[in-house]
């Protein structure tokens, strides 16, 4: 609780007036010095899929665990502004600051063949000097550095400043298990067996990872990915955006040192689901349209912040939606050939599309039943609306969790990164989604198969069972992050460690 509440109202009003004229960073410094709050720093690597959960983690540490936090954002988007981020994330707390590190430019060193992971690693590497200078310039240095899993290279900065090192895995525990287990596999025998002979990877205590599901960077033996796995293992703690009811087997294996467990060095803390809460200010035309639709009647279709389809696939999806005769909201992007992650690091900018890549007459024919939204939609707000009855998703982990916390069953359509693993978690491990066997990594899924999947989730008996399962998981998710829940308690342990660390540091420095 802010110390403001301890002083009489009229003095408080004066203080607030005086205080509001200060710059944000100076405010946070003043507050830290005068309240003795423990201060931590977080680093978000580029991409909305990382930024959104890191912002939520910062908010959670501040609002539930009495910590003050500064979030450093690595970006290549020079147009991204701090005020934009504060608005989108709904941050209003005096104990939480967001600092955009100077935009990095790696354009001269990348071409069409440079994968997302490599680009991300390059950007984080470029941002390290600014991160170092920013921390050095702080009068009260943070006790811990919490980086998302693609920014583990920043651990060198934490070591220089003798800070605790935590990693925040913004995806699921199964992917974490693969990542930390990967570097231990025998390079000659195990990896070859999987990559060349297409046998499943057996991670001790976890579901095996089938060849068809495996993360493509594992299959390519990407050095950056294996380095990440090794660096994660050096953390003082690993926070993962999951919870026990969602991944009981994998989380047990991650805790057990006879299986994948890295404790006591790097204990795993399931702290999820952390998802962006609904912002009333984002209520607009789409939400008003939803208000007029019957309960659980609308399918939401989106491929995340960066997913794209080919021209042929876009046309088939349009026909599939139309032929299914179900209501829908479709967030569309202009088609891109042979690159399903084409817009991952691109700003979504202004919606100036002409939508001329959709089948002729599609918009007219579907205007009663469907809404087409170019590029970006207020997803959390849409998924929480009672009219939503299903989500056709690329299975980015944030989207998956947002669906679960709103009790919305999914159709999984993985595109890139670890999404095939996410799809398997959702459809097979926990049964909150349906998938089509036709969704092979290459090739086009036809309109009939798409209409059949939609029918299955929105109308058929099978869909009802999936809906019941996801609703049950929704209540487990709410419990996990509520005061006293397993995820709440796991984050409380991390916060406590930081507090004890701060006391020790203060005792040393007198």
Q: Which residues bind ligand UDP (CB under 6 A)?
A: 47-49, 52, 276, 302, 304-306, 331, 376-377, 379-380, 396-399, 402
Residue 173 or 502 with smaller CB distance to ligand UDP: 173
H helices within 346-429, ranges in order? 362-366, 379-383, 397-405, 419-424
Strand pairing report for 410-412 and 38-44: unpaired
Tell me the closest approach of the beta carbon of residue 264 to ligand UDP, in angstroms.
Answer: 31
Nearer to ligand UDP, 380 or 487 (CB): 380
Q: CB neighbours of 488 closer than 8 A, spacing ≥ 6?
A: 64, 480, 481, 482
User: In angstroms, what CA-CA distances link 109 with 156, 273, 277, 381?
Assistant: 23, 36, 37, 38
Beta carbon of residue 402, minimum distance to ligand UDP (angstroms, whole number): 5
In angstroms, what is the minimal distance from the CB of 348 to ligand UDP? 7
Instruction: Rank residues 222 and 399 by Cβ distance to ligand UDP and give the closer one.
Output: 399
End-to-end CA distance of the chain: 27
Minimum CB distance to ligand UDP, residue 309 (Å):
14
Give the alpha-carbon dihedral of 56, 271, 422, 184, to 10 degrees.
120
Sheet strands side by side (includes 370-374)? 370-374, 327-332, 298-302, 388-393, 410-412, 433-434
Annotated catalytic residue 193:
no
- The DSSP-derived string for 207-223 is --B-GGGS-HHHHTT-H
Cα–Cα distance, 247 to 29 (Å, whole number): 39
| Cβ closest to ligand UDP, residue 194 vs residue 333 | 333
The residue from 50, 194, 385, 394 that is catalytic is: 50
Partnered with residue 374 across adjacent β-strands are 332
Token reading at 237: 């703690």
- Residue found by looking up tokens 């994660």 in the block: 232
Q: In whole angstroms, how large is the CA radius of gyration of the chain?
A: 23
Angle at 439 between CA 192 and CA 464, to 5 degrees: 120
Report the residue number, 182 or 378, with the smaller CB distance to ligand UDP: 378
* CA–CA gap between residue 174 and residue 171 (Å, rounded): 9
Q: What is the dihedral of CA 335, 148, 25, 502, to 10 degrees?
A: 170
Choose, from 39, 65, 97, 148, the residue flagged as catalytic.
Answer: 148
CB of 276 to ligand UDP, least distance (A): 6
Q: Shortest approach of ligand UDP to residue 331 CB, angstroms?
A: 5
Smallest distance, ligand UDP to C-beta of residue 373, A: 7
313/399 with CB nearer ligand UDP? 399
The H or E element that residue 455 is part of is: helix 447-458
Residue 257 to residues 35, 243, 249, 253, Cα–Cα distance (Å): 39, 19, 14, 8
Catalytic residue check, 148: yes
Q: Could you give the residue numbers annotated as active site?
A: 50, 148
């Amino acid at each position: 609780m802010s110390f403001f509440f301890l002083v009489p109202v009229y003095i408080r009003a004066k203080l607030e007036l005086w205080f509001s004229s200060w710059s944000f960073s100076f405010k946070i410094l003043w507050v830290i010095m005068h309240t003795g709050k423990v201060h931590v720093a977080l680093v978000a690597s580029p991409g909305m899929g990382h930024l959104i959960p890191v912002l939520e983690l910062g908010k959670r540490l501040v609002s539930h665990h009495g910590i003050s936090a500064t979030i450093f954002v690595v970006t290549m988007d020079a147009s991204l502004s701090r005020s934009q981020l504060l608005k989108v994330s709904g941050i209003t707390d005096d104990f939480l600051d967001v600092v955009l590190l100077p935009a990095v430019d790696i354009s001269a060193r990348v071409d069409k063949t440079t994968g997302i992971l490599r680009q991300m690693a390059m950007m984080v590497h470029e941002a390290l000097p600014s991160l170092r200078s920013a921390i050095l310039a702080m009068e009260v240095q943070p006790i811990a550095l919490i980086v998302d899993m693609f920014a583990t290279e920043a651990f060198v900065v934490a070591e220089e400043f003798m800070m605790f090192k935590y990693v925040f895995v913004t995806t699921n525990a199964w992917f974490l298990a693969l990542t930390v287990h990967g570097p231990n596999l025998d390079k000659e025998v195990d990896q070859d067996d999987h990559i060349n002979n297409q046998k499943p990877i057996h991670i001790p205590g976890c579901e095996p990872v089938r060849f068809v599901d495996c993360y493509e960077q594992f299959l390519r033996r990407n050095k950056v990915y294996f380095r990440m796995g090794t660096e994660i293992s050096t953390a003082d703690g690993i926070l993962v955006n999951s919870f026990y009811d969602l991944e009981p087997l994998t989380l047990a294996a991650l805790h057990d040192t006879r299986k994948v467990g890295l404790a006591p060095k790097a204990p795993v803390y399931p702290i999820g689901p952390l998802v962006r809460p609904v912002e009333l200010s984002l209520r607009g035309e789409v939400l008003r349209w939803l208000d007029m639709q019957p309960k659980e009647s609308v399918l939401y279709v989106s491929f995340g912040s960066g997913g794209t389809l080919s021209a042929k696939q876009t046309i088939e999806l349009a026909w599939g939606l139309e032929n299914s005769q179900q209501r829908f909201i479709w967030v569309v992007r202009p088609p891109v050939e042979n690159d399903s992650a084409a817009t991952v690091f691109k700003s979504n900018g202004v919606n100036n599309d002409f939508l001329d890549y959709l089948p002729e007459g599609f918009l007219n024919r579907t205007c009663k039943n469907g809404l087409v939204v170019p590029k970006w939609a207020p997803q959390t707000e849409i998924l929480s609306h009672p009219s939503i009855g299903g989500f056709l998703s690329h299975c980015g982990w944030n989207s998956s969790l947002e669906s679960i916390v709103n009790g919305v069953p999914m159709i999984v359509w993985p595109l890139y990164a670890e999404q095939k693993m996410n799809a398997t978690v959702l459809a097979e491990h926990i049964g909150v989604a349906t998938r089509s066997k036709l969704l092979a990594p290459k090739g086009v899924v036809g309109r009939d198969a798409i209409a059949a999947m939609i029918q299955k989730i929105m109308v058929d008996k099978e869909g009802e069972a999936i809906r019941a399962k996801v609703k049950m998981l929704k209540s487990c998710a709410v419990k996990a992050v509520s005061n006293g829940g397993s995820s709440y308690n796991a984050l409380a342990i991390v916060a406590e460690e930081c507090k004890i660390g701060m006391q020790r540091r203060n005792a040393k420095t007198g």
